[in-house]
Structure 1
Amino acid sequence: MKQWVTNQDGLEKIQLVQDAPMPEGLKEGEVLVKINRVSLNYRDTEVCMGLYKHHKHVPADQSGLVPCSDICGTITKVSAGDKVEGFKEGDRVMATFNQTHVRGQIVAEDMASGLGLPLPGCLTEYRVFPATGLVKVPDYLSDEEAACLPIAAVTAWMSINSFQPLGQPMQGKEKVVLLQGTGGGEPIITSSSDAKLERARKMGADHTINYKTTPDWHEEVLKITHGKGADVVFETGGAQTLAKSFECVAFGGLISCIGYLSGKGGLPGNRINTNVLALKRNVTLKGMLNGSRERFEEMLKCVYKGEKQIHPVVDKVFGFEEAREAFAYLFKGGHFGKVVIQVS
């Protein structure tokens, strides 16, 4: 079979292996999955550039690593025994990001089961998974759409509902949610692109802010909310945005830390006292590491199996042999929605 591998030495150096061995011999509880589509995440570019080697769960030698985690695939073989519950050959499935995180709060040991580092990833034609690391695809979703859900949709779901009891997610439009970037509640979207903001409005965004033309966007959020602020902030910027997020989050609100698109290091002269800012508005600051299989299935039941069919936004689909171009396109940052690779 074919698969892409990285020595974590640059996006342009990922390699297509034409004759990788097919997986053989399923253990009890495992299934063989034919990968149909793979969607890319910013994390995948960092893995290929060698920016995750510091992680304690990552072995020193990670040459020849298969990258990527988010898939839609079809089960082609099920192991013998009775430990594969709810799956059969022909089922379309998605993989959970941390394969051992089945329920509850994530623990450090689960980080060793992350697909695409430390574990071999999914940019390959076939892969074996434990059945406990898979969920079924809602029938109405295409393969491209389903591949978009494991990291993006589950992280978004947990960013809103991580403190909600299982089975009792936030309902209605009583909450204001601030999303940094076009990527429940009454949504306020920020972006540097007016064209992207226009598309977001057509998709249902109540308010949009261009943070380049309105650099004090946190003040605009307070105006929109009549001084109350956003109940939940999807904090994706990091160093350049966190202080402003603290200033426009509602009293008692939640800042869900998802990413660090403005860099991992601090900015010169831009140090903030998180204790003071958190106390000022009684804020909860929580890092988001995706969610469990249990919360993934909850999200699917609440969002993707109801009467209103919601479709993830797919920006562009690349062929399997165009994976290098797909990574470069994602890293450039001009996409709106998800970037997908068609495997088969």
Structure 2
Amino acid sequence: MKQWVTLMDGIDRLQVQEVPEPIDIKEDEVLVRINAVAINHRDIKSMTEFITISSMAISKGGMRLLPTRMVPTSDASGTIVKVGRPAAATKWREGDRVLGLVRPTHLTGPTRSEHHALGLGFPQPGVLTEYRVFSGLRPGADTAGRQQHFLLQLPLAWMALNWDRPIDRPVRGPQTVVLLQGTGGVSIHALQQATALGLTTIVTSSSDEKLLKAQELGATHTVNYNTTPEWADEVLNLTQGKGADIIVETGGPETMPQSVRAVAEGGVISAVGVLTGMTEEKPQLAIGLSLINRNAVLKGINIGPRDRVEEMMRLYQQEDIHPIINRCFKFDGAKDALTYMKDGFHFGKVVIKVNED
């Protein structure tokens, strides 16, 4: 079988290799024929920023992280072709369509170090391969059959909106204002979720074309941050000075100061990404004081546990929501797919087709 491998030294250094198809599987495992892989910014960062992360470890007196040849990416859908017996056979059958869980042992509650240690794509081998053995899966049948490429970013968006809500009691109603930064996978998924929940939404982008697409998906307001660089002022203007109750913060260091200005009193900034880069600088005192003055929360959001994924998927089935696929690449075009997403051309999700369903 074929699989892509990386030494985490850049997208252009990815290589395809031929390896034997897995034969022996444990009784709690299944062998899956991968149908499609969805790309996440997490995957790109693990392939392009590993050297930077390793250098930071050295500068802090730590041990240099040595890269090993690894299969990249973390989100996959596929079909079971072999079931470990007897344990796995009690739950799965050959032919079942399934979704891989990015962190298989994360079943409920906050993400912890032991969950990170088993994360697909990094530090464990990923899913950009024709076949893979899994132990942690979710059914991918019925309506979800058309939603099989989104297991990481869907719950990430869901947690950004509902991390502090009890299960099956998500935030609802137009009185809640949500600010969504950009039109990548997480923001567009959050837009679809927020629209289904009846929330008021504000979407930012540098592209009028992408903002028009966001409006077609239900965005209440849009702001072009190229023509309106002080977009926090426009958010306050659109909300009559109130600000956004929830901000899905994807930018990081460069966008955070404006997010703090735009958040409503008692609101939350859900930090899900660092698209503007990583920094070791200490948080500015002014940001901390602003959060105190507004009684607001800055919450780091990670991939949701299995029980929140199940909660979210119930909404998708009830509301018949179909996540947006921007572009689908062939398996041998994986480098092009990763570069396309890294360069920010996408609106929604970028998918690599590995095998036909």
The 3 A distance-change label for structure 1 pair 123 and 62 is same
Q: Secondary structure at the match of 1:47?
A: helix
Alignment of 1:102-181 (within 5 A): 102-130=107-135, 133-142=136-145, 145-147=147-149, 149-181=150-182
TM-score by length of 2: 0.88
Alpha carbons 1:69, 1:116 under 8 Å: kept = yes
Task: Measure, in 2, the Cα distance between the counterparts of 1:88 and 1:281.
Answer: 53
1:185-221 alpha-carbon deviations (Å, 9 max, x no partner): 2110000001100110011100000011001111111
- 1:194 paired with 2:195, answer no
CA contact (8 A) 2:247 2:268 kept: yes
Give the match for residue 188 of structure 2: none
What residue identity is the alignment partner of 2:234?
E
In terms of fraction of residues, the more helix-rich structure is 2
Amino acid at match of 1:63: T
Structural mapping, 1:1-344, within 5 Å: 1-17=1-17, 19-51=18-50, 53-54=53-54, 60-83=65-88, 86-130=91-135, 133-142=136-145, 145-147=147-149, 149-183=150-184, 184=194, 185-265=199-279, 271-302=284-315, 304-306=316-318, 308-344=319-355
What RMSD, in angstroms, separates the aligned Cα atoms of the two structures? 2.1
Residue by residue over 1:91-149, the C-alpha shift from the partner in whole angstroms, topping out at 9 and shown as x without a partner, is: 2111122121111121111110111010000000111111xx21112523455x421x2
Aligned partner letter, 2:297: T
Task: Please give the alpha-carbon distance, in whole angstroms, between the structure 2 residues aligned to 1:196 and 1:73.
Answer: 30
Instruction: Provide structure 1 residue ranges, at least 5 long, that are not aligned to the other structure.
Output: none
- TM-score, normalization: structure 1? 0.92
User: Greater CA deviation, 312-321 or 77-86?
Assistant: 77-86
Residues 253-296 of structure 1, C-alpha deviations (whole Å, 9 max, x = no match): 1110011111112789x945332021011111111111111111
1:59 offset after TM fit, Å?
9.2
Cα distance, 1:305–1:193 mapped onto 2, change above 3 Å: same
**C-alpha deviation, 1:175, in angstroms:** 1.3
SS of structure 2 residue aligned to 1:336: coil
Aligned-pair identity (%): 43
CA distance in 1, matches of 2:70, 2:88: 29
Distance 1:95 1:173, change over 3 A: farther
Q: How many pairs does the alignment contain?
A: 335
SS in 2 for 1:150: coil
Distance 2:87 2:245 in 1: 45
| CA distance in 2: counterparts of 1:256 and 1:200, whole angstroms | 20
